[in-house]
Amino acid sequence: MINGEFTVKRIDFLKRKRTILKTKIIATMKAYTLNEFSVDEKSNVATFKVNISKYGIIKQLPNTYSAYYYTEKVPDSESDIKLKLHISTIGPDLA
């Protein structure tokens, strides 16, 4: 399991949730891009596939990943929230 913790602006997260989640997941996983990205806002889970770049070659990893995210208030700031990510693999895509 890969964990990440970021401080983001609350208003930005509410307006651009998908974009912020994608950029923070890419930063956490040290990925090149994300494919097949979908967000389930009811259960706070994002699913995706990862492309990595190694020595100039871009390769898609065979596993589908799942990221559970949640937010917490920052004690000293009204405008900031703490975004926490927990990323794990679902398994290979057999289709």
At 91 the pLDDT is: 57
Q: In terms of residue numbers, what domain contains 39?
A: 2-90
Give the dihedral sign, CA 68/73/3/16.
Answer: positive
At 77 the pLDDT is: 87
Total domains present in the chain: 1
The answer to the question of residue 36 being in a domain is: yes
pTM reported for the whole predicted model: 0.87
Sequential pLDDT tens for the chain (95 residues): 899 999 999 999 999 999 999 999 999 999 999 999 999 999 999 999 999 999 999 999 999 999 999 999 998 888 999 999 999 997 555 44
Q: CA-based angle 20:52:86, to the nearest 5?
A: 45
CA 64 to chain CA centroid, nearest Å: 13
Per the listing, tokens 């994002």 go with 46
CB atoms < 10 A from the CB of 40, how many?
A: 10
The answer to the question of residue 8 being in a domain is: yes
CA–CA gap between residue 69 and residue 85 (Å, rounded):
5
Give the dihedral sign, CA 18/20/25/30.
Answer: positive
CA–CA gap between residue 62 and residue 1 (Å, rounded):
17
The answer to the question of residue 41 being in a domain is: yes
At 83 the pLDDT is: 94
At 92 the pLDDT is: 57
CA–CA gap between residue 13 and residue 71 (Å, rounded):
10
